[in-house]
Amino acid sequence: MEDLKQRVLAIAHEIYPQIVEFRRHFHAFPELSMQEFETARFIAKQLQLMGIKYRSGVAKTGIIATIEGINPDKKLVVLRADMDALPIHEINDAIYKSQNPGVMHACGHDAHMASLLGTTMILNRLKDKLEGSVRLIFQPSEETYPGGASLMIKEGVLENPKPDCIIGQHVCPELPAGKVGFRAGLSMASTDEIYITIKGKGGHGATPELNADPVVAAAHVLIALQQIVSRKAPPLIPTVLSFGRFIADGKMNIIPNEVKLEGTIRTYDENWRRKAHVLINEIAGKTAEACGVTADIHIAHGYPSLLNDKLLTERAMHYAAELIGEENSVEIPQRMTAEDFAFYSHIIPACFYRLGIRKSVKGITANLHTPEFDIDERALLTGSALMAWITIKELQQ
């Protein structure tokens, strides 16, 4: 087994320059959710060069591929990477800077795809050591509801046969490159989008008595909704309610007819999640009514909380310690961010871990979803080798 571990590391180091090239290509040519056509073509070409069977066009732009080991029907492990970028204008000046204005891989999906291609290369060269099969998922639209994971599941990605488990990884700016973080059990929050339109009667700002002011009403609604977390949420259930858009499109002396609020609610408990939706509707509706206006409320039901299988995650953390050292395989806290990988985790045992990408001495510290975001590319070496090692060990489990 020690010899196999060394082979994994040796192949990872050998192909590392190619993995970096993959990542830089993806970063330079990002595509938004459900528009990942060129990205998918590039991935398909690499799979063809490796002689790996694949199916494209799954959930529009997704790809499924298979590597069969020496006992292909014994066990099936699924590996997943997401493909889409974000509507962000990159301000970095790297040679691989986005060539698509206003579109950027600011969430590390370029690294996820490159790492999975690297893992694929390693596993393909070691398939005579695989006690089972590996299903590769290159998934579209993680960033946009209803989530590419839910669409791929509907198209049978977890069927024929049903996998034994699924593994995924996500870059983490808080962790230094070379480290990985694990969290068993509930590890990421559910997420729902909130859209509220406050409708009143606009008019001149100098004659407020003639209007039904939706701006003041929206402000009251915004403040009133905060009691959902501070006074309604069970104290032991993490909950976040945040509003990022307040659009009152009037002028300094013009009160508009309506105001739009957009926000998100995140938590870990499905029963409380449903109750919170009811409270949002009640509080927003009654507060608006008290202000003499009306509220149209829509809550887009998003991703569930992400549930990492306890035993699988503990094993994966141990495998990581074997490969990169115990000091580099660490436990991390829960996060209020969300991921559509969660859909997979409620169907089969799942492990979704964090890949460190931070390099402070190089100034690589920017958070996800920012125009300055970048990674220490040495993380790609860890990402490719570790996912391959976890897969090999899990197939032997």
The set of catalytic residues is 84, 142
| Of the candidates 146, 122, 99, the residue with the CA atom closest to the CA atom of residue 6 | 122
Q: Which of 387, 384, 301 is nearest to 342 (CA)?
A: 301
Query: What's the maximum distance between 2 C-alpha atoms anywhere in the chain?
Result: 82
Cα 306 from Cα 193, distance rounded (Å):
17
8 Å CB contact between 110 and 94: no
| Eight-class DSSP state of 315 | H
Beta carbons of 168 and 96 less than 8 angstroms apart: no
Angle between helices 37-50 and 109-125 (to 10 degrees): 10
Cα(54)–Cα(62) distance, rounded to whole angstroms? Answer: 10
Cα–Cα distance, 59 to 231 (Å, whole number)? 41
Residue 139 burial (CB < 10 Å; 0-12/13-18/19+)? buried
Distances, alpha carbon 315 to alpha carbons 18, 85, 164, 184, 396, in Å: 29, 31, 14, 10, 12
Q: How many CB atoms lie within 10 A of CB 365?
A: 14
H-type alpha helices, the chain: 2-28, 37-50, 109-125, 148-154, 214-225, 227, 270-290, 310-324, 341-345, 379-396
Cα(361)–Cα(373) distance, rounded to whole angstroms?
15
> Exposed e or buried b for every residue in 187-224, given b needs 16+ CB within 10 A?
bbbbbbebebbbbbebbeeeeeeebbbbbbbbbbbbee
